[in-house]
Amino acid sequence: AQSVTQLGSHVSVSEGALVLLRCNYSSSVPPYLFWYVQYPNQGLQLLLKYTSAATLVKGINGFEAEFKKSETSFHLTKPSAHMSDAAEYFCAVSVSTGNQFYFGTGTSLTVIP
Amino acid sequence: DTGVSQDPRHKITKRGQNVTFRCDPISEHNRLYWYRQTLGQGPEFLTYFQNEAQLEKSRLLSDRFSAERPKGSFSTLEIQRTEQGDSAMYLCASSLGDTGNQPQHFGDGTRLSIL
């Protein structure tokens, strides 16, 4: 079975500061990993995905994530936070034979002006 | 690409009533998923379809829940005899392909409130 743990349900950063959102996964087979963003009263929008190619993955809006097998991690980063980045972020894991995504409980990002 | 569309966006009903939600996936996507999301939680898998076949259902999907995708296009999720605990956001997603490495594209959800 697969699972995801997102450390820190709430993260606050100043505008222009580094954003780091943590995701650790558990999977008995090679995983596929995804980060999604959710704005209030909206669905989830894909930020980026890791599907066994390059371990450093670049996504939309300046976000990137690095797959580290030894640490079973897939942390999301952005060098400089914008006010528009304030939202809920979800990490998800899947596998090649899987039929569903397993989501973490989410991290709410607040950007302080 | 018109995206995944869900209707209605909001539904308020009294306990014990039946409700039905509709999802229109991205047109060429063969997989369609239903998730439930409660406040402060990530989406929880309910069920998924490959074309018109419902291939997997979660233990979360009680007998009061039923989903269909009659022609492999749109899908409906029905909840019978609604309970307070059914209050949640119901999300639909679709994807293309047969493996788990394809990203799922989500609609904006239907928010259900049980009075």
Residues of A within an 8 Å Cβ radius of B? 4, 9, 32, 34, 36, 41-46, 49, 51-52, 90, 92, 94-106
Is the pLDDT confidence value at B1 over 70?
Answer: no
- Chain B residues close to A99, C-beta within 8 Å: 48, 55-56, 100
In degrees, rounded to 5, the angle at the alpha carbon of residue A46 between the alpha carbons of residues A9 and A98 is 90
* Nearest residue to A46 (alpha-carbon basis) of B67, B73, B4: B4
Confidence band, pLDDT 50/70/90 cuts, at residue A13? very high
Distance (Å) from the C-alpha of residue B14 to the closest C-alpha of chain A? Answer: 22
Q: Cα separations (Å) of A22 from A35, B36, B49, B83, B102? A: 11, 23, 31, 35, 22
Mean pLDDT of chain A: 92
Mean pLDDT of chain B: 93
Q: Cα separations (Å) of A92 from A106, B62, B86, B103, B109? A: 10, 24, 23, 10, 18
Cα separation, B38 vs B20, in Å, equals 18
Handedness of CA A82, B93, B40, B7 (dihedral sign): positive
How remote is the C-alpha of B94 from its chain's centroid? 10
* Nearest residue to B100 (alpha-carbon basis) of B48, B28, B36: B48
Distance (Å) from the C-alpha of residue B65 to the closest C-alpha of chain A? Answer: 18
- Chain B residues close to A46, C-beta within 8 Å: 103-105
Place of tokens 């009263």: A41
Q: What pLDDT score does B46 carry?
A: 94
Is the pLDDT confidence value at B101 over 60?
Answer: yes
Residues of B within an 8 Å Cβ radius of A? 4, 6, 33, 40-45, 48, 55-56, 58, 91, 93, 99-101, 103-109, 111
Question: Cβ A100–B45 below 8 Å, yes or no?
Answer: yes
Confidence band, pLDDT 50/70/90 cuts, at residue B60? confident
Q: What pLDDT score does B76 carry?
A: 98
Better-scored residue on pLDDT, A99 or B48? B48
Place of tokens 């679709």: B94
Q: What is the mean pLDDT of residues B45-66?
A: 91
Which DSSP state fits B103?
Answer: P
Question: Cβ B45–A101 below 8 Å, yes or no?
Answer: yes
Closest chain A CA to residue B92: A43
Question: Cβ A34–B103 below 8 Å, yes or no?
Answer: yes
Q: What pLDDT score does A40 carry?
A: 87
Share of chain B above pLDDT 90, in %: 81
Handedness of CA B41, A98, A27, A36 (dihedral sign): negative
